[in-house]
Chains A and B, each alone.
Chain A
Amino acid sequence: MKFGIAVFPGTWSDRDCAHWVELAGHDAVMLWHKDTDLQRVDCVILPGGFSYGDHLRTGAIARFAPLMNEVSAFAQDGGYVLGICNGFQILCEAGLLPGALARNSSLEFRCEPSWLRVETSSTAFTRGLEVGDVLQVPVSHGEGRYVADSATLDELERSHRVVFRYTAPDGGPVGDATPNGSMHDIAGIVSKAGNVAGMMPHPERACEPLLGGVDGNRILESLALLDVAGVA
């Protein structure tokens, strides 16, 4: 597959994401925030970082970048988009995903391992996984508390669009131990059409044993099951 990796001023996980996809045998091209050509990629990754310094709000400025017009059009045509951390925040600001990411309830920047329970295997991002699988993937953010109104939360739950939930390492309830205080312990969600996903944890930082685990690769393995022929 060919992955396009967005680079905004202040993005910091772009090279990590390129390493992640290349390690899995895919191609990576970098997409500059002023670009208006997505280079016929199969999937766009919006990586983590602090786009435009995260001034005003996380992702608030990045969503108006020229590249985001193309990413929105790509997403509306069914193209696959994965937002990680700041990328998730940008997708919410852009209205491509519902809800918002607010300041962690601890008020701390949390950089630590987290455990994610797979809540659905019927998305392109998790089809190689099973419901109940637990992935160890690190978080690294100060604003990751998922917030949405109750109607949106009901809709997400009813339509099985919560993709990952923070969990205890054994898959049990996480209690108050989420990294950020997210509503419904939400770590990642997917769009109604199923082609746009956002998650706060960093799968690209769990791609080699040296980094403490390889569970992040399971998401790429799922995406690799796609028949990308015909995707523009």
Chain B
Amino acid sequence: MSSYIADVTVMLKPVVNDPQGLVVRAGLEKLGFAGVNGVRVGKEIRIEIEAESTEQARTAVQEMSEKLLRNPVIEDYEIAIREAQRA
């Protein structure tokens, strides 16, 4: 068994209006940052998990994402996974 760290990024689907993103974008413009074409605000969920392999860890985290971490009606998710550094 190895330890893995999975970062699950949950974002509102592109078709769902994201008022937080609009406010952040307006804030950036107010600060003088030019060229910002869009801002979306999501959340990141970091999961530390024991598994036999990266693939097994990914499968487990995928199942967690489908069942609980995202709402399929309004949210998409992406998983980035890496082996944890040994102490």
Contacts and interface: CB of A to CB of B under 8 A. Distances in A.
Contacts of B69: 56
Contact of B68 (A60, A99, A100, A149): A60
B20 interface: yes
B26 to A, nearest CB: 12
B61 to A, nearest CB: 15
B71 interface: yes
Interface in A75-94: 92-93
Contact of A107 (B15, B23, B68, B74): B23
18 contacts: A56-B68, A64-B68, A93-B71, A98-B73, A100-B73, A100-B74, A102-B12, A102-B16, A103-B19, A103-B20, A104-B19, A105-B17, A107-B23, A145-B17, A147-B16, A147-B73, A149-B73, A181-B19
Main secondary structure of the interface of A (DSSP, over half): loop
Given A102-B12, A181-B17, A92 B73 contact: yes
Interface residues of B, number: 12
A57 B77 CA distance: 14
Interface in B8-26: 12, 15-17, 19-20, 23
A99 B20 contact: no
A99 B13 CA distance: 13
Contacts of A92: 73
Interface residues of A, number: 20
Interface of A: 56-57, 60, 64, 92-93, 98-100, 102-107, 145, 147-149, 181
A105 B16 CA distance: 11
Interface in B70-87: 71, 73-74
Contacts of A100: 71, 73-74
Contact of B19 (A99, A105, A148, A149): A105
A60 B71 contact: yes
Given A147-B74, A149-B15, 5 more contacts: A56-B69, A93-B71, A98-B73, A100-B74, A147-B73
A93 B75 CA distance: 12
A107 B68 CA distance: 24
